[in-house]
A and B are shown apart, each in its own frame.
Chain A
Amino acid sequence: MTIRALEKVSVGQNGIGAFILQCKRMDIHYCDHSGSSRGMNIFIRSMLQKFAASHPQIEFAVSPRPRKHPVMIGHYINGNQKSICVKNMEPTEILKKAELLRDASGEKIKRVNKSVKSINPSVRGIWSPYHGKGITV
């Protein structure tokens, strides 16, 4: 028994194998009377049903919030939430915001410096100074 095993846990990458939409719940708040909710009320009446039907993975919760601006809040699988105030917006703009919430991963916004991020080892390997012809100075 010269080999012992170390315990490691496999790492999942969303989209390799199965894809799970990261937005799991969307709260939609509106006000019946305020002018800032006018676009939101039209969105709820005319567009939301179609949007919700095309995204069964997301749980939609519509609730009034009197005397407040309309808000959409996305809840994500990693536990984060993202809220967007949609006051005075047109219904088409609100639809764009809803799509933004749907497509977000829930991670914090980070600057991406490297164009490729991978956990797989490089095919070419890391450059080594001890191999090859060497460098003549």
Chain B
Amino acid sequence: MKRVRLERLSSQLLAAPPARTISASRFASRAPRASTSSPRLRTTACLQIRCQSTTVSPDLIYEDEFIQEDPEEVDPRTLPLPSPPPSRAQYSAKLAALHARLSLSPRLPLETLARALIDPSADSNTKFNNTNLAYLGASLLQYHTSEFLVTRYPRLPLAITFAAMKGYAGPEVLQRVARAWGVEAAAAPGEEVDPGYLQFDPLRPTVEMKKGGYVRAESAEIARFKWRRGMSSRVTYDNAFGEMVPGQASVSNMHMAAVSNEHNEREKILRDAAQNAHANFVRAVVGAIYLHCGRENAKSFVKSHFLSRTLDLSNLFEFKVPTRELARLCAREDFEAPVARLESETGRMSRTPVFVVGIYSGKDKLGEGAGSSLDEARVIAAQNALKSWYLYSPGEVALPSDTFAEDAAPWKPVYIDIGEIIS
């Protein structure tokens, strides 16, 4: 539903990460501060190079005497890193097993998979955690899920589309997928931990993936007074699952330490940390596949791991007045007005009667339902008739993303419905 500009999202990620600063908030109090006019400036610059980084800056000069002079300063090379260094990825049996278990291409290096396992709560440096990969992966996941739903079920009401999006690509599902991949969480993140474990810390702030959507001006009032927000405004303002993007006022732990310098205050949210970390790992894997193996591989990965899951869409509907809605549908489509007829019954005077009611429009039977009272059977029949209307599917049709390929067949427009009956 939302347009994705993938080329803008991914170009920064393929660049080699520069040397990392000791920026974790854990060490913020211990790290020396840079002052522009002090002779300590050069020392500070060399202190900010990540100790085990493979990048070497040419003007790296170690001036140990400055460190020796100040007894309060701690040599950052002796401090443990917040997460395992990328160089250890090649030696982790767990990571290699995970790579093989997901049948990932050898073009996707183990270092990237290790990076996908590092949550911002473990390592706040965006050059080493999975934030950027997860953002890209979330875009792809939502794009492919929404195009699948919109082309496969063109008459789906918007509320059901949002719920189905959540059922296929919501954080709860992503956590289940991560568990089904056999990903285990580390007891506590750290340099010495095997890179094959998911690294996150439930007690430290993390970044919640808020792909798409804007903060509404009245978000505080909606949260507090339960103001009504219409369905159609959710397309523009809310995220891919039709949920309101929380505003400034609803962020509870604003006082917590900074996640990173690149992110502003709004993104420091922590709710279900384990679910968030697992979901971000799964998104990051999708993003990594896109970057290293290309668009088609990412698409087939999403299809095989997410869209192949079973979700019965007819269980998502909850009707308020199905009979009225069915009457409006028949009026709109120039059908004859629907009539409910009793088809069969048993045990009318007993304590367990069953009535079977069919709803007819002229000679066409629209739906049928069985219930223990005449009214119940009629309502269920109307619901079934409406579900069969809404769940119309043209079958396997071409997706918009099929036309991205160079030698793709020309695009044939898909069926677009005129919309919901009563919105």
Residues of A within 8 A of B (CB): 1-14, 16-18, 20-21, 24-25, 56-61, 77, 119-120, 129-131
Contacts and interface: CB of A to CB of B under 8 A. Distances in A.
B168 interface: yes
B265 interface: no
Given A9-B167, A20-B181, A59 B97 contact: yes
14 contacts: A1-B159, A2-B322, A5-B159, A6-B317, A7-B163, A16-B308, A17-B304, A17-B305, A18-B305, A24-B97, A24-B101, A58-B97, A60-B93, A119-B310
Contact of A3 (B99, B160, B343): B160
Contacts of A60: 93
B320 A5 contact: no
Given A1-B231, A25-B97, A8 B180 contact: no
Contacts of B97: 24-25, 56-59
Contacts of A3: 157, 159-160, 317-320, 325, 420
Given A20-B101, A57-B101, A130-B356, A8 B182 contact: no
A24 B182 contact: yes
Q: Decide if the interface of chain A is mainly helix, strand, loop or mixed.
A: loop
B303 interface: yes
Contact of A2 (B181, B316, B346, B422): B422
B213 to A, nearest CB: 18
Contact of A4 (B99, B159, B356): B159
Nearest to B168: A10
Given A3-B157, A3-B320, A130-B354, A12 B346 contact: no
B163 A5 contact: yes
A127 to B, nearest CB: 13
Contacts of B305: 17-18
Contacts of B316: 5-8
A18 B176 contact: no
B183 to A, nearest CB: 9
B420 A130 contact: no
A58 B93 CA distance: 9
B328 to A, nearest CB: 9
A17 B309 contact: yes
Contacts, number: 125
Nearest to B356: A130
A82 B325 CA distance: 56
Interface string B167-192: 11010110011011110000000000
A81 to B, nearest CB: 13
Contacts of B101: 20-21, 24, 57
A9 B173 contact: yes
A60 B159 CA distance: 48
A18 B346 contact: no
Nearest to A5: B163
Contacts of B159: 1, 3-5
A61 B93 CA distance: 9
Given A24-B101, A77-B182, A130-B354, A17 B308 contact: yes
Interface in B279-318: 303-312, 315-318
Contacts of A16: 308, 310
Contacts of B182: 20, 24, 77
A25 B182 CA distance: 10
A84 B195 CA distance: 29
A11 B306 CA distance: 10
Contacts of A77: 179-182
A25 B168 CA distance: 29
A130 B177 CA distance: 42
B414 interface: no
Contacts of A9: 167, 170, 172-173, 176, 311
A20 B306 CA distance: 13
B352 interface: no
Contacts of A120: 310
Contact of A11 (B157, B160, B303, B309): B309
Interface string B312-348: 1001111111101100000000000000000111100
Contacts of B317: 3, 5-6
B378 to A, nearest CB: 15
B279 to A, nearest CB: 13
B94 to A, nearest CB: 6
B166 interface: yes
A25 B157 CA distance: 45
Contacts of B166: 7
B96 A56 contact: yes
A14 B100 CA distance: 16
A121 B168 CA distance: 20
Q: Which of B97, B157, B160, B422 has the most CB of A within 10 A?
A: B97
Nearest to A56: B100
B103 interface: yes
